[in-house]
Amino acid sequence: MTKTEFLEILINGENSGVEFKRDTIDNRGLAKELVAFVNLDGGSVFLGVEDDGTVTGISRSDIEEWVMTTCRDKIRPEIVPYFEIIRDVEPGKNVAVVRVDLGWTVHHVWYNNHSTYYIRVGSQSREASKEELERLFQQRGAFRLEIRPVGGSSVADLDIRRVREYFKRIRNQELPQDEKELRSLLINTEILRDEGDYSPCTLAGLLLFGKKPYRYLPQSAIDAVAYPGLEKDYAALERAQLRGPILGLFQQKDDGIEIIDPGLVEQAVYFIRRNTGVNASLKDGTIRTERHDYPEEVIREAIVNAVVHRDYLLSGTDIELSIYSDRLEVISPGKLHNGITTERMRVGCRTARNQLLKDVMRDYGYLEHMGMGIPRKIIKGMREHNGTEPDLIEDGERFILRLWKEKKIEPTE
């Protein structure tokens, strides 16, 4: 880093990736700042600078050795930072730069035989809450929320009809009659969790097959609203909180598969159909054709993506389904995960926050086996349907998929 680059950082002040510290900070304090950075997205600690940007310089003669020892002894797993000294920032005053990148795992400060996890929030480093820590482990692939046990639940909370149909039609297996064998099968397929004498449902098991998932997981619903105009309005055409297991209950017939009891996906599709239009026309003067505002394949893919990929750690928020006179929006709680961006989604980058949900939904045919639903079904489907381009928007702690009813006509000059 050049002196000019440093002075520019100094002018901008502390932020999510920059921290100023005196070099008299103790090793625990330095470890805290570095752990917070490595658990977020990386960052730099500038030693020899006051919080207000005043350069005091470094006084430690062994500062590089002290930094490396701190990173080895006070941080678990240990890290090796980038270190350099910027000389004569002001006459006779040097500044040390300690920079770390995003970690591949979750790091913590090890002090007095105690572990403390820190995260960076704006220009502050603070201890992570239980929910934030779980999300960190989930992002690094070290924690699978979907197989977490749901306290108080049991096999009695599963709709055994859906479980039986899944194993018989999808997996070509009969459910064991013996209670012990059934428990073993459901544990091994991660529908139940083995907690010794107690076998609660996993989050995924309850979401997929539960009788009433919302009893334990209030964030499992879809909040659906149809508005008459372009904006939210108290005078909605219809409001509904859609509840139930994600999977529908199906039955094999001679002429195909029949749905007996709709799941969350079907309920959302029905809601959209009730509250959007359909235009009928004659083809070749004799054949009547119908054209919906939004293609069935597109809206189904949009709903499936929302229920499969949302962040179920955010317990106070439902998926939002909003229909306006000119557009349809599906809003999923949670940031995009594992380095996914909207640009990468458009070209079909494949990753899953909830792999078990994804696998089971794919087995049923709700999802494409290639994981290319966004480019193949949603983007391509809307282009072919009405020439519009879906909006993919990451907005803080939520992801918005917006479909347009009609192509906007650009004003002519």
Tell me the DSSP string of 52-110.
TS-B-----TTHHHHHHHHHHHSEES----EEEEEEEEETTEEEEEEEEPPPSS--EEE
Q: Is the pLDDT of residue 291 over 90?
A: no
Looking at residue 1, what is its pLDDT? 86
Higher-confidence residue of 195 and 273: namely: 273
Looking at residue 257, what is its pLDDT? 85
Query: What is the pTM (predicted TM-score) of this model?
Result: 0.69
> Strand, coil or helix: what is 332?
strand
Indicate the pLDDT class of residue 286, thresholds 50, 70 and 90: low
Q: What is the pLDDT of residues 70-92, one digit of tens each?
A: 999 999 989 989 999 999 999 99
Looking at residue 273, what is its pLDDT? 95
CATH number of 3-143: 3.30.950.30
Lookup result for tokens 């479909």? 403
The percent of residues in the chain predicted with pLDDT above 90, rounded, is 67
Choice among 29-33, 148-152, 400-404 with the minimum mean pLDDT: 148-152
Q: What is the pLDDT of residues 316-354, one digit of tens each?
A: 789 999 999 999 999 999 888 766 788 888 887 767 778
Looking at residue 412, what is its pLDDT? 58
Higher-confidence residue of 329 and 369: namely: 329
Q: Token pair of 213, please?
A: 């998932």
Average of per-residue pLDDT across 11-21: 94
Residue 128 near residue 39 (C-beta atoms within 8 A) = yes
Domain 218-404: which CATH number of 3.30.565.60, 3.40.720.10, 3.40.50.1010, 3.40.50.10490 = 3.30.565.60
Indicate the pLDDT class of residue 281, thresholds 50, 70 and 90: low
Residue 330 near residue 306 (C-beta atoms within 8 A) = yes
Looking at residue 370, what is its pLDDT? 61
Is the dihedral angle over the CA atoms 226, 228, 232, 236 positive or is it negative? negative
The pairing of strands 398-404 and 327-333 is antiparallel
Q: Is the pLDDT of residue 371 over 70?
A: no
Choice among 28-32, 167-171, 242-246, 285-289 with the minimum mean pLDDT: 285-289
Q: Is the pLDDT of residue 357 over 90?
A: yes
Q: Is the pLDDT of residue 282 over 70?
A: no
Report d(CA 58, CA 382) in Å as an integer.
Answer: 60
Q: Token pair of 61, please?
A: 């003669």
Indicate the pLDDT class of residue 64, thresholds 50, 70 and 90: very high
Query: In 10 A of CB 254, how many CB atoms?
Result: 4
Q: b/e string for 327-350 if b means 16 or more Cβ within 10 A?
A: bbbbbbbbbbbeebeeeebeeebe
Looking at residue 312, what is its pLDDT? 87
Q: How buried is residue 36: exposed, middle or buried, by Cβ count under 10 Å (0-12/13-18/19+)? A: buried
Looking at residue 142, what is its pLDDT? 55
Q: Is the peptide bond before 245 cis (omega within 30 degrees of 0)?
A: no
Report H helices in 75-215.
Answer: 130-139, 160-165, 179-188, 203-209
Q: Is the pLDDT of residue 173 over 70?
A: yes
Indicate the pLDDT class of residue 355, thresholds 50, 70 and 90: confident
Domain ranges for the chain:
3-143, 146-213, 218-404
Looking at residue 413, what is its pLDDT? 54
Residue 312 near residue 147 (C-beta atoms within 8 A) = no
Higher-confidence residue of 343 and 264: namely: 264
